[in-house]
Structure 1
Amino acid sequence: MAERKASRTAVLVCQGRAVADGRLAVGRFADPVAIELLTAAEQEPVGRVRSGVRPKPFGERMEYELLTGTTEVLVVRTVAIDDAVRERGNPQLVILGAGLDARAWRMAELAEVDVFEVDQPASQQEKRERLGERTALAASVRFVPVDFARDSLGAALAEAGHDETRPTTWIWEGVVPYLTPEQVEATVEMVGKHSAPGSRLILTYPVPSRVYSIGRKTVQVLLNLAGRNNPMAGEPNRSSWPPERMRKLLGARGFDVTTDVDQLSIARGLDLAIERDSFLASSRVTVADRQ
């Protein structure tokens, strides 16, 4: 992105985590930092959803429903990803497309872990301003600004101090659908080249689903009718993956799939009451390890 501003989807994701904190999957999910990364205007819809009172005006109601649905997705995948990070306990963590992710500031389990946050330079600069002087819980946080159209991710990570001889956990959350199949393959190739034995790749991805595609388009139309900003306008859906195809892609780059679970199953395991189960059923969380 050209402008010096956090992406709308990054803000929406942060709002979803702020809505869920202390309300959903208590004991398994917590993100008290999320609300502090939002501006006063961005906090307003968070407060409305946390109140549980659906507004009557059409525009506010659409904003409410979008954020409610986002919150359900965020809680489920965040719990699964955090569990996978803790389970492996690698000394390095790379977050691809970090956005307003707060793991390095909320997870005490990262106290001895070097965290590398990779994102577009403009988005990353604004995040650092939003963080202010907040102290990270991780051993270190290295910001790795990368213009994916021009820069080498591997070179940028090496310059930031990433050691490819040591095991790394990679988080690739909520990015795959916005990339072409070729871009997904190239990223997995890069991750494989810079992963020592014992490394772990955690990613989320959508499976082919007409229900998901139609639902996404419907939300966009309703947001436009309501005169509300569409956070998905600049990030069209570019790829979806059958699980077996994703397994083959990862296997060809040296990663054996440990778990690959649809998010609806994860939600049921957390005893969450989900209103939009079709979206969760068509999204998966995969954990793959390099032996």
Structure 2
Amino acid sequence: MPEALPASRTAVLVCQGRAAAHGLIAAGRFADPTAIRLLRADEREAVQWVRDAAVPQPWRQRVDYESVRANAEMIVPRTVAIDDAVRAHPSPQVVILGAGLDGRAWRMPELADALVFEVDQPSSQRDKRERAEGLPGTPPTFVAVDFGHDRLTEALAAAGHRPSEPTSWIWEGVVPYLTTAEVSTTVAALAACSAPNSRLIVNFQLPGTSVTLGRLVARLLMASTGRRSVWATEPWRSTWTPAAMAALLARHGFTVTGEHDLLETARALRVPIRHATSLTHSRVMVADRT
């Protein structure tokens, strides 16, 4: 039997970015009051440095500061693009795939009347449920799925998902960590569960040598502090051109109705831009099933 995957550390970094940005970056368009509450005490320290613009001098803490600050500036346009796509297409069901420490079920009033499901691998989901205890509001229905062994369609059905009704699927920050075959298999599973008028919102990364080098530099910086990078056990496994992703979705009955270049989104939001290449290579595509 294969060894169980540990809880995602990338999810923590993303949550730190949202917590650091809350109320400070793109105020009025971005807010996530759940993020800080989903973090443990030691994970909040770097968040506070960024919020206070208090650059620490020790090298180890400086690397943490820069990682969280960069993540905050990346996460805001991505989150806004996805949230806007969800609001623009109300559905009776919302499924968040690879949810990590996502707070949408609690923070988005537009989801109050929807059935919200969070799908994630078992270790990450156990960690999330512990962290989410005490959050005000209605929690989502948690669906633990080991994608190497469990069938997504069956797991969702057992949790109460109704394939006869429209679903909004949120697939954020997950695709790069899957192989091309795994992405294709997942899209097929989503199509099998998608009634007409369903919507798929997928975030993916474009191919690019500069982005690969940037991740390598980030890993080396973390190694210089004597710690292992969060990406050491969570490497990227696939990148996609918009044409390739649109073609995959079309084969399964989804028609692309929108695409967001996150650099353009960041500029529109007046988000600080220090990592333009990373923003350019991260896309959000919206596709509807008619």
Same fold (TM over 0.5): yes
Distance 1:178 1:5, change over 3 A: closer
Q: Any idea what SS the aligned residue of 1:226 has?
A: coil
Post-superposition offset of 1:56: 1.9
Q: Matches of 2:125 and 2:235 in 1, distance apart? A: 22
Q: Distance in 2 between matches of 1:56 and 1:254?
A: 53
Larger displacement relative to structure 2 (64-73 or 195-204): 64-73
* Alignment-derived partner of residue 47 in structure 2: 46
- Where in structure 2 are the equivalents of 1:64-143 lying within 5 Å? 64-137=65-138, 141-143=140-142
Distance 1:39 1:149 in 2: 29
Q: Which residue of 1 aligns with 2:167?
A: 168
More divergent stretch after superposition (221-230 vs 272-281) = 221-230
The residue aligned with 2:219 is: 220
- Displacement, 1:135? 3.5
Query: Whole-Å Cα distance in 1 between the matches of residues 121 and 46 of structure 2?
Result: 26
The two structures, once aligned, show a CA RMSD in angstroms of 1.4
Stretch moving more, 212-221 or 126-135: 126-135
SS of the residue 2:116 aligns to: strand
Determine the C-alpha separation between the residues in 1 that align with 2:128 and 2:36: 13
1:28 and 2:16 are equivalent in the alignment: no
TM-score normalised by the chain length of structure 2? 0.96
Q: Distance in 1 between matches of 2:287 and 2:143?
A: 23
The aligned amino acid for 2:209 is R
Give the SS at the match of 1:241: coil
Between the aligned partners of 1:44 and 1:256, the Cα distance in structure 2 is: 43
**Cα shift readout 1:195-247 (whole Å, capped 9, x = no counterpart):** 00000000110111111011111110111012234111111111111111111
Separation of aligned partners in 1, 2:287 and 2:210: 27
| Whole-Å separation in 2 of the counterparts to 1:273 and 1:122 | 34
Matched residue SS, 1:63: helix
Distance 1:40 1:187, change over 3 A: same
**TM-aligned CA deviation for residue 141 of structure 1:** 1.9
Indicate conservation of the 8 Å contact 1:4/1:126, yes or no. no
More off after superposition, 2-11 vs 231-240: 2-11
| Offset at residue 129 of structure 1 (A) | 1.3
Matches of 2:242 and 2:184, distance apart in 1: 14
Partner of 1:237: 236
2:255 matched residue in structure 1: 256
What amino acid maps onto 1:7 in structure 2?
S
Structure-2 residue corresponding to 1:11: 12
Uncovered stretches (5+) of structure 1, i.e. residues with no partner: none
Letter in 1 for 2:101: L
Counterpart contact for 1:165–1:196, Cα < 8 Å: yes
After TM superposition, give the deviation of residue 148 of structure 1 in Å.
1.1
Aligned pair count? 289
Uncovered stretches (5+) of structure 2, i.e. residues with no partner: none
Q: Is the 8 A contact 1:59 1:228 kept in 2?
A: no
Query: Once superposed, which parts of structure 1, at least 4 consecutive aligned residues long, lie more than 6 Å away?
Result: none
1:171-212: CA deviations, max 9, x gaps? 000011111111111111111111000000001101111110
**Structure 2 Cα separation of the partners of residues 246 and 240 of structure 1:** 10
Kept after mapping to 1: 8 A contact 2:34/2:135 = no
> In 1, are the aligned partners of 2:73 and 2:272 still within 8 Å (CA)?
no
1:69-89: CA deviation from partner (whole Å, max 9, x where unpaired): 111111110001011111100
Q: Deviations over 1:130-171 (max 9, x none)?
A: 11133435xx62110111111111000000000001000000
SS in 1 for 2:224: helix
Aligned to 1:265: 264
Shift of 1:4: 8.6
**Counterpart check, 1:210 vs 2:209:** yes
Q: What per-residue deviation string (whole Å, max 9, x for no partner) do you get for residues 16-52 of structure 1? A: 1100101001111110111011111011111111111
Name the % identity.
52
